[in-house]
Chain A
Amino acid sequence: MNKIKVENLSFSYTPNDLVLSNINITFDNRTTAIIGQNGAGKTTLVKLLKGLIKPISGDIQINGTSISSQSVASLAKQIGLVFQNPDDQIFKQTVLDEVMFGPLNIGINEVEAKNAAIEALSLVGMSKHENSNPYDLGLSERKLIAIASILSMNTPIIIFDEPTIAQDFISKEKIKNIIRYLQFQGKLVLTIIHDMDFVAECFERTIVLCKGSVLIDDETKKVFQNVDLLKEAHLELPHVARLSKELALKNLSLTIDDFITDWFNY
């Protein structure tokens, strides 16, 4: 089982202005959503996990080994991070080459890299675009390519930064299925996300960050029961949860199917 252990982690860009203060979290194989307002420190936390920035104090261990002594490039074999904007990474002329870039960087040979890329592309449903130029495709397709380019590296840990931004219904469904598949494969999946309906449907565990600290860390369902704390973090309830709360149903339902069951059991 994969595990990330974050201990007493603090970070600041300028002294006296902590972006993250004394964070303690253990991430395990439960799919986990990190939510919170802009500026709550979500992206900073992920950058620390990836070794892109160094903490001012505290430690991060991946499967028992501290990351402080590892380079970003060697961490790349363990953690994949899908950035918010696909245009910040895409540079190859064909989709296949783009998706092969990561595996080749971490020392996988040409043949295996190609196989991994082909498999990743089929997973995101982009096989038919293998030889297209990424910039001939739409933004949501480029997002899927960016996801594939991380999946192809076959890392045990995968982090998504706002995977659903500007995505339509169909693309969101695709991303939902990808996350479920990764979880099924036993990978550790983390996501920074604003879309509460998506959180409710897709993630077992939710961590609420507020002003650089962990406000709530619990099972998703329990998190959404903390209406007052959520308000403090300027977050909303998922739509189904709002409905079930207004009706004062015994259970707080998070998904449509939950709601139907709870409704009939009432």
Chain B
Amino acid sequence: MSKITVTNLKYKYPHRDNLALNNISFEIQPGEFIGIVGENNSGKSTLCQSIIGLVPHFYKGGYGGSVIIDDIEVYKSDISTLCKKVGLIFQNPFNQVTGSKETVFEEIAFGLENIGIPRDEMIERINFSMKLLDIEQYKDRNPFDLSGGQMQRVAIASIIAMKPEIIILDEPTSQLDPAGSEEVFQAVTKLSNEGITIIMVEHKIEKIAAYCDKVMLMHKGELIKFDTPSEVFSLDNLSDYGINPPIFTSICKKLNLRKDDNNYPVTIEETLQLLKKERSYEQN
């Protein structure tokens, strides 16, 4: 059974004329790592927020169609129920720190206290998630004293401790330096290997191509294509949607190098393989 089933989802923010999401349908299987790409204001964040129920429960506004997670219909449920299944991480790590806790350990406990997890289990879960995100050494530090990358990992650990089955990350690395972004991507890959379903919005297209199982391409509130990275990034009219393919794909397009399935490569490994093959072919 699909983990997430979205059918004809339409949504309009209050006091706005245009549809933020226009007739979107897709299914996501358990454990998949999905990337969402598209230009600014194409509906990526709105789509993310519709899965955890912020759309429509937090923002209100006009809503049609359905989002179903396992057997829960988002529209008929509420955020405090959904947040046990779905976790959300967004851009700015500063705004995800509660500001009411004095140590990283207590910070991670915040969500668990709210959903009534018994103390012993709470401690066990906090330790588990700190280990997974490699932040045990910051246990007693004040969250505000950490760097952006460290703080973002604390934010992810806080969500992981709530044991969600789905984690949504909305541009989690855009405020971080290269080392910080890499830390976050490594951590997310680890979660994906644990079998957690991951949905990630990201502008760093090369990373999306390298890490994701499937990619959603959004434009003006519509879902243009939902397929493997190489299918999506091989589209001829990609630039019409304000998206540039990975640099490796652009190079192969110019050299007209295709893979066996007639798509262009999207990762450095695939590209290297093709280029090396090409070179040895030329040399012979």
Contacts and interface: CB of A to CB of B under 8 A. Distances in A.
- Determine direct contact between A and B, CB below 8 Å: yes
Interface of A: 37-39, 138-140, 165-171, 194, 196-197, 234-236, 239-240, 242-243, 246-247, 256, 259-260, 263, 266
Contacts of A165: 174-175
A150 to B, nearest CB: 21
B126 to A, nearest CB: 26
Contact of A259 (B39, B171, B175, B251): B251
B244 A169 contact: yes
Closest 4 CB pairs of A and B: A234-B179, A166-B174, A239-B247, A38-B177
Interface in B91-148: 91, 147-148
A242 B268 contact: yes
Contact of A234 (B41, B174, B178, B255): B178
Given A243-B248, A263-B255, A196 B178 contact: yes
Contacts of A38: 147-149, 176-177, 180
A243 B175 contact: no
Interface in B211-257: 242-244, 246-248, 250-251, 254-255
Given A170-B242, A194-B177, 17 more contacts: A39-B147, A138-B41, A166-B91, A166-B171, A168-B39, A168-B40, A169-B243, A171-B40, A194-B176, A239-B268, A243-B247, A243-B271, A246-B268, A247-B276, A247-B279, A260-B255, A266-B279
Interface string B247-281: 11011001100000000000010011001100100
B177 A37 contact: yes
Contacts of B244: 169
Chain B at the A interface: mostly helix, strand, loop or mixed? helix
Contacts of A260: 251, 254-255
B39 A197 contact: no
Nearest to B275: A247
Contact of A166 (B175, B179, B243): B175
A36 to B, nearest CB: 8
A170 B219 CA distance: 13
B206 interface: yes
B84 interface: no
Contacts of B279: 247, 266
B163 interface: no
B85 interface: no
A197 B243 contact: no
Contacts of A236: 178, 182
Contacts of B205: 169
Contacts of B254: 256, 260
A139 B45 CA distance: 13
B203 interface: yes
A37 B275 contact: no
A37 B149 CA distance: 11
A165 B174 CA distance: 6
A153 to B, nearest CB: 26
Contacts of A266: 279
Contacts of A242: 268
A169 B242 contact: yes
Contacts of B250: 256
A260 B180 CA distance: 31
